[in-house]
Amino acid sequence: MTVTIERAGDVAIVTIDNPPVNALSQALRQDLWNAAETLDADPSVRAVVLICEGRTFIAGADVNEFGKPPTPPHLPDLVARIETAAKPWVAAIHGSALGGGFEVALGCRFRVAVPSASVGLPEVRLGIVPGAGGTVRLPRLVGPALAAEMVTTGTPVAAPRARSQGLIDAVVEGDLEKGAIDFARAALDQSLPLPLRQRGVPAVDAAFWETSTTAVAGRAKREDAPLRALACVRTAAEADFEAAMAFERQTFLELRGSSQASALRHVFFAERAALRPPELGGVEPRRIRSAAVIGGGTMGAGIAAALCDARLPVTLVERDEVALERGLSNLRSIIDGLVKRGKISSEAAAERLSAVTGTTHYGLLAGVDLVIEAVFEDIDVKRDVFSRLSAVCRADAVLATNTSYLDPEEIAAGIKHPERFVGLHFFSPAHVMKLLEIVPTAQTTPATLATGFALARMLNKIPVRAGICDGFIGNRILKITRAQAERLLLAGATPQAVDAAMRAFGLPMGPFEAQDLGGLDIAAFQRRAARARGETPFAPIAERLCALERLGQKSGGGWYDYAKGDRTPQPSEIVAGIIAEEGSARPQRQWDEAGIIDCIVLPMVNEAAKILQDKVALRAADIDLVEIHGYGFPRWRGGLMHYAEERGLTEIAVRLNELAADGLAEPPCNQFERWVE
Ligand code: 3H9
């Protein structure tokens, strides 16, 4: 049984216990239905409190059931059953009331919540719209404007704000069950509000829908669900209750089977699975109560800001006072930026900064639990840092390098207790980007590795284990992206056409725009290191741009020209000239959008297949997370490997062979088509 009924005098308490998150499985829907029947038939019950065991109120429909045909009782019917019950129900919310969970709460006559709770309709994040009356009842409760904002963004609202916006009726301080029972009794003494189905939708002016459609379309880019959710709210405002319910249900069922919804569900489960890699099951991580960062440049300051965000006391270490002051100022400006953008209050900022200590003395690190090195990418500098750290830090302190392309084995060579060493590769800006590549050496123990994953959870990041190779997972694929983009230029495409095609595919920026933003010098530096290792990196045009000091936006020009103070990329005659020279001996052709996308994305898939073959990534879904959270691959495509599987691996292999025949890509690797279990 997922539901129990108890009594507190004339108030019945219906308690749901369906771990882990009280999702509305068929069994729970049936048990709740039965509870409503039982309580309606009991004349001694005057009101019902609906409350949940465990970490949260109902977190929504059971996403595991979405691939299967719907089974009764259907959620819209259950919500209607509760709404039309003979006695008023009061939803008592802790944790999150999300999706179907909030829809059940909207079926209740009242909603009360603890201050830490939140409510919302996040269905668009799963590529669907609410399917149990959320878009129909919410505008009746709070008006179309707030309803439209909530269903099109999916952003939950915290209890205090939810109370002021009318989403809930009371915030309960102290014991939730007692507070809800008291609330129910007090409500029974007054005239009850109408159930939402019987209320009208407050009017909005005629321009509202047009303005909202433009705004939502702009935000959603190529995702279908947000605009469809807006259409549901509009129907709720313009049609009667039953017609709006039918429209919403139809939309929900259509989207539930869409490829975007399937991709977004894949990402939903992949993100959760990433936090608990099965190979580390049962391994206890070390406790992290304090941290230090070595180096206060862009990366180091960003990492320190992320640690501050997790409320860890942070020591920032620099080589001298001047560098330290610059590092602390970098950190302050990140935290000030959070205040300016309204992400945190100035009190919270002050609290974070007060937990930061700046020093030039490694001796201060004797007691810290975790040290993350983020100094210049130079093997000798890094090795010097770790030899000093291993002399002063506790034997069980975790020592991590943020290197993005040096070999962690070489960095760790010779340190004391190498078993506590691990690579933690953050992505810039480190306080924003969700991806954390965790790179163990041969000597890293499971406990150290597990600590990396636990840290990711503390920092609200998505961890992915990566093996050691040049670029780990993400930058190894990025190298292919960039090389393919240059191959396209040599074969007749323009930087503008390549960037536009990749944006149309769903990336926030094309490969050339992205290089201009980040600077061409970092990749040039990496190519020099690769050549020193005897490799032959392919970047003929980028090399010439670097030789001309065209390093991107920061130098006033890179792949594009930029007018002073303007970041709009303008086609560059110099670049066109270099492309023409470099490509003059090669066959030229006309490129359409689909051709450009295939020439870039399919070799990325091939490289990813090699990465799996080499065991640099353990799971295809991990590569999806790397691409989504580190490189802006469209979430609604499910990541690189999910995209490939949906598209069909056989077709991709054929296309790769065609590109290879034209000298534009490598043929599919040995393991191609074999990653799908
Ligand atoms: C919906 O409701 C549609 C309706 O409008 C219409 C229907 C007709 N189903 O996140 P966690 C699992 S759509 C199944 O690590 P936290 C999750 O996979 C739904 N399973 O916990 C994980 O499993 P495992 C709208 C679910 O404490 C475990 O629970 N609702 C579901 O960090 C723990 O999850 C949402 O989109 C689910 N709905 O965060 C809410 N949710 O242990 C989605 C979670 O095997 N959920 N699991 O890896 C969340 O946002 C978070 O889980 C929550 C708790 C904030 C609730």
- The ipTM estimated for the assembled molecules is 0.98
**Atom of ligand 1 lying closest to residue 130 CA:** 5
Cα atoms in the 13 Å half-sphere on the side-chain side of 549: 2
| 666 Cα–ligand 1 center, Å | 41
Q: Report the pLDDT value the prediction gives residue 334, as an integer from 0 to 100.
A: 96
Q: Indicate if ligand 1 lies below 6 Å from the C-beta of 454.
A: no
Q: Indicate if ligand 1 lies below 6 Å from the C-beta of 127.
A: no
374 Cβ partners below 8 Å, 6+ apart? 293, 294, 295, 297, 299, 300, 303, 402, 426
Query: CATH: 3.30.565.10, 1.10.1040.50, 3.60.15.10, 2.40.160.40. Which one for 474-676?
Result: 1.10.1040.50
Q: Indicate if ligand 1 lies below 6 Å from the C-beta of 100.
A: yes
- Taking the C-alpha atoms of residue 109 and residue 329, their distance in angstroms, rounded to an integer, is 52
- Closest among 201, 30, 34, 20 to 95, alpha carbons compared: 20
Q: Indicate if ligand 1 lies below 6 Å from the C-beta of 21.
A: yes
Q: What is the pLDDT of residues 246-292, one digit of tens each?
A: 999 999 999 999 999 999 999 999 999 999 888 898 899 999 999 99
| 64 Cα–ligand 1 center, Å | 10
Q: Look at residue 545 and tell me whether its pLDDT is greater than 60.
A: yes
Q: Indicate if ligand 1 lies below 6 Å from the C-beta of 264.
A: no
Contact 425, 299 (CB under 8 A): no
Q: What is the pLDDT of residues 21-43, one digit of tens each?
A: 999 999 999 999 999 999 999 99
**Atom of ligand 1 lying closest to residue 125 CA:** 36
Q: Look at residue 608 and tell me whether its pLDDT is greater than 80.
A: yes
Q: Look at residue 398 and tell me whether its pLDDT is greater than 70.
A: yes
Strands 462-465 and 435-440: parallel
Q: Indicate if ligand 1 lies below 6 Å from the C-beta of 23.
A: yes
**Atom of ligand 1 lying closest to residue 63 CA:** 9
φ/ψ of residue 388, rounded to 5? -70, -40
- Closest among 51, 59, 190, 165 to 114, alpha carbons compared: 51
- Closest among 650, 622, 627 to 637, alpha carbons compared: 627
**Atom of ligand 1 lying closest to residue 74 CA:** 8
Looking at residue 561, what DSSP letter applies?
B
Contact 22, 3 (CB under 8 A): no
Question: 272, 275, 280: which to mutate for ligand 1, most atoms within 8 A of CB?
Answer: 272
Q: Indicate if ligand 1 lies below 6 Å from the C-beta of 267.
A: no
103 annotated active-site: yes
Q: Which CATH class is domain 3-257?
A: alpha beta
| 525 Cα–ligand 1 center, Å | 43
Contact 230, 152 (CB under 8 A): yes
| 266 Cα–ligand 1 center, Å | 13
The dihedral built from the CA positions of residue 398, 399, 403 and 407, taken in this order, carries a sign that is negative
The domain ranges of the chain are 3-257, 288-465, 474-676
Contact 642, 624 (CB under 8 A): yes
639 Cβ partners below 8 Å, 6+ apart? 263, 266, 267, 270, 621, 623, 624, 625, 627, 628, 633
Catalytic residue among 6, 53, 65, 123: 123
- Taking the C-alpha atoms of residue 655 and residue 668, their distance in angstroms, rounded to an integer, is 9
- Read off the tokens for 492: 């007749």
- Taking the C-alpha atoms of residue 2 and residue 23, their distance in angstroms, rounded to an integer, is 11
* Residue appearing with tokens 């465990």: 54
Q: What is the pLDDT of residues 465-517, one digit of tens each?
A: 999 998 999 999 999 999 999 999 999 999 999 999 999 999 999 999 999 99
Q: Report the pLDDT value the prediction gives residue 261, as an integer from 0 to 100.
A: 96
Q: Indicate if ligand 1 lies below 6 Å from the C-beta of 537.
A: no
Q: Report the pLDDT value the prediction gives residue 308, as an integer from 0 to 100.
A: 96
Residues 577-608 as b/e (b if ≥16 CB within 10 A, e otherwise) read: ebbeebbeeeeeeebeeebbbbbbbbbbbbbb
| 58 Cα–ligand 1 center, Å | 9
Q: What is the pLDDT of residues 635-650, one digit of tens each?
A: 999 999 999 999 999 9
| 49 Cα–ligand 1 center, Å | 23
| 559 Cα–ligand 1 center, Å | 43
Q: Look at residue 424 and tell me whether its pLDDT is greater than 80.
A: yes
Cα atoms in the 13 Å half-sphere on the side-chain side of 10: 12
- What percentage of residues in the chain have a pLDDT greater than 70? 99
Q: What is the pLDDT of residues 332-384, one digit of tens each?
A: 999 999 999 999 999 999 999 999 999 999 999 999 999 999 999 889 999 99
In three-state secondary structure terms, 366 is coil
Q: Look at residue 619 and tell me whether its pLDDT is greater than 90.
A: yes
Q: What is the pLDDT of residues 86-118, one digit of tens each?
A: 999 999 999 999 999 999 999 999 999 999 999
Q: Report the pLDDT value the prediction gives residue 670, as an integer from 0 to 100.
A: 77
| 317 Cα–ligand 1 center, Å | 40
Strands 118-120 and 96-98: parallel
* Residue appearing with tokens 């009764």: 72
Q: Indicate if ligand 1 lies below 6 Å from the C-beta of 229.
A: no
Q: What is the pLDDT of residues 451-479, one digit of tens each?
A: 999 999 999 999 999 999 989 999 999 99
- Closest among 344, 446, 433, 447 to 627, alpha carbons compared: 433
Shared fold status for 288-465 and 474-676: no
| 430 Cα–ligand 1 center, Å | 26
- Taking the C-alpha atoms of residue 147 and residue 246, their distance in angstroms, rounded to an integer, is 18
Residue 13: band (very low, low, confident or very high) from pLDDT cuts 50, 70, 90: very high
Question: 2, 16, 18, 21: which to mutate for ligand 1, most atoms within 8 A of CB?
Answer: 21
- Closest among 219, 207, 196, 213 to 148, alpha carbons compared: 213
- Closest among 49, 366, 27 to 178, alpha carbons compared: 49
- Taking the C-alpha atoms of residue 330 and residue 160, their distance in angstroms, rounded to an integer, is 34
Q: Indicate if ligand 1 lies below 6 Å from the C-beta of 60.
A: yes
Q: Indicate if ligand 1 lies below 6 Å from the C-beta of 277.
A: no
Q: What is the pLDDT of residues 32-74, one digit of tens each?
A: 999 999 999 999 999 999 999 999 999 999 998 987 888 999 9
With respect to CATH, is domain 288-465 assigned 3.40.190.10?
Answer: no
Q: Indicate if ligand 1 lies below 6 Å from the C-beta of 607.
A: no
Q: How many residues does the chain have?
A: 677
Q: CA–CA distance from 333 to each of 308, 327, 340 (Å)?
A: 13, 10, 10
532 Cβ partners below 8 Å, 6+ apart? none
Q: Indicate if ligand 1 lies below 6 Å from the C-beta of 542.
A: no
Q: Report the pLDDT value the prediction gives residue 470, as an integer from 0 to 100.
A: 86
- Taking the C-alpha atoms of residue 228 and residue 615, their distance in angstroms, rounded to an integer, is 41
Q: Look at residue 677 and tell me whether its pLDDT is greater than 60.
A: no
Catalytic residue among 83, 103, 486, 645: 103
Q: Indicate if ligand 1 lies below 6 Å from the C-beta of 311.
A: no
Host H or E run for residue 81: helix 75-83
Residues 333-352 as b/e (b if ≥16 CB within 10 A, e otherwise) read: ebbeebeeeeeeeeebbeeb
| 23 Cα–ligand 1 center, Å | 7
**Atom of ligand 1 lying closest to residue 62 CA:** 9
- Closest among 507, 505, 519 to 551, alpha carbons compared: 519
**Residue nearest atom 32 of ligand 1, based on CA coordinates:** 272
Looking at residue 127, what DSSP letter applies?
T
Verdict on whether the full-model pTM lies above 0.90: yes
Region 286-308 average pLDDT = 97
Is the preceding omega at residue 160 within 30 degrees of 0, hence cis?
A: no
